[in-house]
């Protein structure tokens, strides 16, 4: 083995709280790593000799994250999460398809190939429903529609969007208690903790000002979250669960580029997310 070449690389064009906490944990554990900026990355054929053999992908942009992972893998680099997992978790439909394929409970979801077809699909799903962009997060452009007239108006805007991909419409039933969800963080096949997110509005993303608080991790929630992460092929995932009025729990989302600042703040000393991730990276890079 080449002792000069660092084996572990961290790919991230933005170093946020999460990346800093993972890097600090690696340093505390005495693990060497190299920071890689995807904005200056290109892969031509085989990986350069000095490139790390194991890369942790923390790129914030979905397309850059997916293609960087794919290009690195094609050059023989091991990437975590894998390119395949990043492709699935970065796209709401691929995620739904993976959950449905694994037989896991998820809210009623439809994919319509045109805005017109979406209007028909909404008749089956019923109102209120949610129209979500396939790619993107932080609750951006996620629109709740309460009746046909409103859906029709929203879909008219969708039809006018320039990108062909935006004309494929992802629709989902609105789970009644959607103002409060459960975020479970899964690291290497283990659920390390859970938190409640309560939003003033119906989107509960922390990026939109939702309040997060610690939640005891039940065995059934842990098992469902671990199964959901496995279904999308993600080693590290933030799984969002939602409980309806009858107490039925479904998987709402599986996020592959977990943001865990709110989670860590809610968990306090119960769990150290950065350190859990660092431990997994060290184990995998050495494997």
Partner 1 sequence: MQKITYAAECPECASAVTIEAEVRVSEIIECTDCRSELEIVSTEPPELALAPEVEDDWGE
**Rounded to an integer, what is the distance from CA 241 to the centroid of its chain?**
13
CB of 143 to partner 1, least distance (A): 15
CB of 134 to partner 1, least distance (A): 10
Angle at 286 between CA 284 and CA 287, to 5 degrees: 65
User: Is 236:80 a contact under the CB 8 Å cutoff?
Assistant: yes
CB of 236 to partner 1, least distance (A): 11
Question: Pseudo-torsion of CA 230, 234, 237, 239, nearest 10°?
Answer: -40
User: Is 242:178 a contact under the CB 8 Å cutoff?
Assistant: yes
Closest to partner 1 by CB, 19 vs 121, is 19
Half-sphere exposure of 168 (CA within 13 A, CB side): 9
What gap in Å lies between CA 43 and CA 74, rounded to an integer? 9
Closest to partner 1 by CB, 122 vs 267, is 267
**How many beta carbons lie within 10 A of that of residue 90, not counting itself?**
22
- Residue pointed to by tokens 């975020």: 183
Closest to partner 1 by CB, 15 vs 150, is 15
The contact set with partner 1 (CB under 8 A) reads 12-16, 19-20, 23, 35, 37, 60-63, 90, 133, 135-138, 140, 207, 238, 255-259
CB of 166 to partner 1, least distance (A): 10
Closest to partner 1 by CB, 9 vs 133, is 133
Closest to partner 1 by CB, 24 vs 46, is 24
CB of 146 to partner 1, least distance (A): 25
């Amino acid at each position: 083995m080449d002792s000069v070449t660092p084996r572990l690389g961290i790919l991230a064009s933005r170093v946020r709280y999460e990346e800093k906490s993972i890097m600090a944990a690696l340093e505390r554990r005495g693990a060497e790593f190299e920071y890689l900026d995807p904005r200056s990355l290109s892969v031509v054929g085989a990986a350069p000799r000095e490139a790390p053999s194991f890369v942790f992908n923390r790129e914030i942009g979905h397309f850059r994250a997916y293609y960087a992972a794919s290009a690195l893998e094609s050059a023989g680099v091991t990437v975590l999460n894998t390119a395949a997992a990043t492709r699935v978790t970065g796209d709401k439909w691929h995620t739904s398809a993976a959950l449905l394929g694994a037989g896991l409970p998820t809210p009623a979801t439809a994919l319509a190939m045109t805005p017109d077809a979406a209007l028909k699909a909404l008749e089956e799903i019923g109102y209120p429903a949610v129209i979500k962009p396939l790619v993107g997060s932080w609750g951006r452009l996620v629109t709740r529609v309460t009746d046909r007239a409103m859906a029709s108006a929203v879909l008219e805007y969708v039809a006018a969007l320039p990108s062909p991909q935006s004309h494929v419409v992802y629709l989902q039933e609105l789970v009644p208690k959607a103002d409060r969800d459960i975020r479970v963080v899964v690291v290497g096949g283990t659920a390390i903790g859970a938190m409640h997110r309560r939003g003033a509005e119906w989107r509960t993303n922390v990026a939109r000002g939702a309040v997060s608080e610690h939640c005891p991790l039940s065995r059934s929630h842990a098992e469902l979250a671990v199964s959901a992460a496995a279904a999308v092929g993600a080693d590290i995932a933030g799984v969002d669960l939602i409980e309806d009025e009858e107490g039925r729990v479904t998987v709402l989302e599986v996020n592959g580029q977990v943001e865990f600042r709110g989670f860590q703040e809610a968990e306090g000393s119960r769990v150290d997310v950065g350190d859990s991730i660092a431990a997994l990276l060290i184990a995998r890079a050495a494997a």
